[in-house]
């Protein structure tokens, strides 16, 4: 059976949900993965009010759409990030009185993520996607040298911060899916395993699989699914391309997305280097039956053209596993 095809609304938060839902219907999607910013979804309202959740679902239903997941990435980033500069001031739904205060940002973010679990329950969905932030990402290049103990302490801090959050998720019957991503506590297979170990493999914590963030690092996206088949709680369909030209490196030279000379960039699905057929095969082997959610990011393509093209692409590459071996006829 084909997977539902949805679209993440984070890159469309400038549009009201009612307007975006109509566009998504026209693009051909089955549903929307609601970002917890803009007017798309408010986790605090959602946690307090089933009526609010029903209202958001009604907006989707009026366009023939459903919701399988909400995504609280921006708040999640502030949970374990040092928050020691102004980049996260006015971040997402962050109250202005938190600006400039790392611990106020953190406390609000923890409350937001706990509320997201209750909001998901009220929405009747089972997955909240998001980020965790990382207290040790800024130490990635180990100079001045970073001790093994410092890294171990970073994973302990992550566990100390997220275990109480995951208690709320367990109480609500909802799971948290980390988008494995640079700047997070897990950004490849090794660090994903270490994050699971830090949490003693509790079931409330898994992954929002996004191949684009693995590809440019040189990590095989299909290998990630093979490594964690029972932890793929949600899937993003996003593409990337490596564009090394001998002048810039994989760290992208402080050049913004879309600028010429970057060592890599995001692309609309099907226009980059991700082998999506292998990903679908591995998802089928893992018995993943959730949505394939397009996270559309491509600085070189009109987003409405790209969103429609991406939906058509996902439907074209999605296929069900075989229920019979191709050579079974020879056994007759």
How confident is the model at residue 2, as a pLDDT?
86
pLDDT digits (tens, 9 = 90+) for 63-92: 999 999 999 999 999 999 999 999 999 998
How confident is the model at residue 260, as a pLDDT?
93
From CA 219, how far away is CA 222, in angstroms rounded? Answer: 9
Residue 121 tokens, joined: 């329950």
How confident is the model at residue 328, as a pLDDT?
56
How confident is the model at residue 143, as a pLDDT?
92
pLDDT digits (tens, 9 = 90+) for 20-62: 999 999 999 999 999 999 999 999 999 999 999 999 999 999 9
Report the SS3 class of residue 200.
coil
Instruction: Report yes or no on whether pTM surpasses 0.85.
Output: yes
Mean of pLDDT over the chain:
96
Closest among 283, 331, 269, 278 to 27, alpha carbons compared: 269
pLDDT score of 327 more than 80: no
How confident is the model at residue 92, as a pLDDT?
87
pLDDT digits (tens, 9 = 90+) for 183-240: 999 999 999 999 999 999 999 999 999 999 999 999 999 999 999 999 999 999 999 9
DSSP 267-331: E-TTSSS--HHHHHHHHHHTT--S-EEE----TTS-HHHHHHHHHHHHHHH--PPPSS-TTGGGG
**Structure confidence at residue 321 as a pLDDT band (50, 70, 90):** confident
CATH fold for domain 5-324: TIM Barrel (3.20.20)
| Domain boundaries along the sequence of the chain | 5-324
pLDDT score of 250 more than 90: yes
């Amino acid at each position: 059976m084909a997977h539902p095809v949805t679209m993440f609304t984070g890159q469309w938060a400038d549009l009201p949900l009612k307007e975006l839902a109509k566009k998504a219907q026209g693009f051909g999607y089955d549903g929307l993965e609601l970002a917890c910013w803009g007017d798309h979804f408010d986790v605090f309202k959602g946690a307090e009010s089933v009526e609010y959740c029903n209202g958001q679902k009604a907006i989707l239903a009026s366009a023939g759409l459903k919701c399988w997941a909400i995504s609280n990435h921006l708040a999640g980033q502030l949970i374990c990030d040092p928050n020691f500069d102004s980049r996260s001031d006015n971040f997402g739904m962050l109250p202005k009185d938190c600006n400039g205060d790392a611990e106020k940002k953190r406390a609000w973010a923890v409350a937001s993520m706990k509320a997201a679990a209750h909001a998901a329950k009220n929405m009747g969905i089972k997955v909240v996607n998001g980020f965790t932030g990382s207290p040790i990402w800024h130490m990635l290049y180990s100079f001045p040298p970073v001790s093994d103990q410092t890294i171990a302490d970073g994973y302990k801090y992550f566990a100390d911060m997220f275990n109480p959050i995951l208690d709320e998720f367990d109480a609500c019957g909802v799971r948290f899916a980390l988008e494995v991503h640079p700047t997070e506590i897990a950004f490849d297979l090794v660090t994903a395993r270490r994050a699971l170990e830090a949490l003693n493999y509790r079931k409330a914590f898994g992954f929002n699989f996004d191949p684009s963030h693995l590809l440019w690092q040189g990590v095989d996206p299909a290998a990630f699914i093979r490594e964690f088949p029972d932890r793929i709680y949600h899937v993003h369909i996003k593409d990337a391309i490596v564009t090394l030209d001998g002048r810039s490196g994989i760290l992208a030279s402080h050049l913004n997305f879309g600028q010429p000379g970057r060592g890599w960039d995001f692309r609309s699905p099907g226009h980059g280097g991700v082998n999506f057929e292998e990903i679908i095969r591995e998802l089928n082997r893992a018995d993943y039956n959730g949505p394939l959610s397009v996270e559309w990011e491509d600085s070189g393509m009109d987003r409405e053209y790209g969103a429609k093209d991406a939906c058509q692409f996902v439907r074209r590459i999605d296929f069900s596993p075989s229920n019979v071996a191709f050579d079974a006829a020879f056994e007759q």
